[in-house]
Chain A
């Protein structure tokens, strides 16, 4: 619990055989809607995996399944080799930021951070250092005394992200963490994520931002509960260019693939 980053990094050497995050042929229906239809991917330690896809593609359901929050109709989810639904020891090694993140609305920014720091039992100096860094990155430092319910949508999201990043877990699942967050903070948050990942953390992040997709080590394009395309962003773009689309953007690739799958 609350292992500082270097320990996470040394763990990498002994645990490379097991993927940090595994989604094996995930299936899940909600009534008439098939949310997951055999979705599978794996993420190694030190890898930042982006889940992209249109609204309703199954990204959120996949993240919830990996966090052990929903029962699957078929397939298996594994975090560090463990079953997140049945093995409670996963919880300590896993961080999750859902789309609707609950903060205490009547507490201030500083009080929320302190509360979540206590939940993950961080030693005081470690908490202080991380909280200060996260406040600087999110540009929330001038607003530490403002109550959470007085923050704008983007600021609330940034505070939620700061709370989720306080205890640097081995595996981090982020469901659209940057919607409404401004470009300066987004860039700084991505630098922080890259730093975590270089320290051995495994991250799955879903995002509607294609510039963020390009900052992932690998991306999976999800459509109708299945993987449509997967690979390092620059390789996907190079293949798309070779297929006759000069100087493509990732957005063009996304639209082409989704419209091709819909046709």
Chain B
């Protein structure tokens, strides 16, 4: 059976499944990604993110379900899929002993680009990723952040309509991450679809929509703001003071307290809003031995969403997927 893609959709997945022996890595996953959208795909290690990507880019046959990428069925036309996508893996596969430009020329040739057109495209991309004039530098001598931008450039040589980025910013410092995400937003603004996985939840805020994978299942899919509203009905509080670490263990057992986590010298707490407010938590911490306690309400973060989804998803009580386009 061949799937066809409606216009305006860069990726469609219907019941996409992959088993390895008795282990189901990806379990009936369905979603759609619009053209020009930045789509974040989040989940714990081993949740099935990379397996999904490997199916979508034509590297791995699904055990069940169908998907289209850039209008092509991934099972029927894997070569057409490969020609229309760019892929940047966790470990960028650049040749470290080659100069920057030669890496681009090599990957360009692999995509069938040649001669002046390839050279011009490589120059254009170096400029675009702020590496203009650095084509002669040995790739291995570039700091990690620049290498990462070169890896992005090498995935864009053949002007793919859809780009898959698998943890592109792991281990990269904040300055380099900020630059990288500016490039991603420019790319999407130009109409390229970006499918990205990350463990940095501040980055996930840049995504228009986020899919959350837990144990092979897509348990949530929505905008960051809507996810916070759906998944974190708790009140989020930040407590400061002295002796908080010792008091934390006792306060964790207080009815209405759902989570307590140290955050530097402060404590982050999630509490049942019907049972506890900032004042009640301050009193509980003080009673547990903490001193000079101040408690403030804070906004829920995507990390709170992630933790709630993983905790609930694991018990099979996840809310239905909402917010498909």
Contacts and interface: CB of A to CB of B under 8 A. Distances in A.
Interface of A: 53-56, 139, 143, 152-155, 158, 176, 179-187, 190-191, 194, 198, 208-211, 214-217, 232-234, 251, 254-255, 258-259
Interface string B84-125: 000000110000000000000000000000000000000000
Contacts of B50: 152
B65 interface: no
A186 B307 CA distance: 11
Q: Is the interface of B mostly helix, strand, loop or mixed?
A: mixed
16 contacts: A54-B176, A152-B45, A152-B46, A152-B50, A153-B45, A153-B90, A154-B199, A182-B44, A184-B306, A184-B307, A191-B261, A191-B262, A233-B265, A234-B265, A251-B178, A255-B175
Given A182-B44, A183-B307, A215-B264, A255 B174 contact: yes
Contacts of A251: 174, 178, 202
Given A184-B306, A232-B265, A251-B202, A208 B171 contact: yes
Given A217-B265, A234-B266, A182 B176 contact: no
Contact of B200 (A155, A209, A215, A233): A209
B91 A143 contact: no
B239 to A, nearest CB: 12
B244 to A, nearest CB: 11
A259 B199 contact: no
Contacts of A209: 200
Interface string B251-277: 000000000011111100000000000
Nearest to A258: B175
B261 A54 contact: no
Interface string B155-173: 0000000000001001111
Contacts of A139: 44-46
Contacts of B266: 234
Contacts of B90: 153, 180
Q: Which of B178, B246, B265, B266 has the most CB of A within 10 A?
A: B265
Given A54-B175, A208-B171, A198 B245 contact: yes
A184 B311 CA distance: 9
**6 closest A-B pairs (Cβ-Cβ)?**
A154-B45, A179-B171, A182-B44, A55-B143, A54-B173, A180-B170
Interface string B305-316: 011001000000
A182 B45 contact: yes
A174 B294 CA distance: 32
Contacts of A158: 45
A155 B171 contact: no
A107 B25 CA distance: 22
B218 to A, nearest CB: 16
B303 interface: yes
A176 B174 contact: no
A96 to B, nearest CB: 18
Contacts of A259: 175
Nearest to B143: A55
B46 A155 contact: yes
B289 interface: no
Most chain-B CB neighbours within 10 Å: which of A55, A179, A209? A55
Contacts of B47: 182
A217 to B, nearest CB: 7
Contact of A233 (B144, B264, B307): B264
Contacts of B44: 139, 182-185
Contacts of B262: 190-191, 194, 215
Nearest to B89: A153
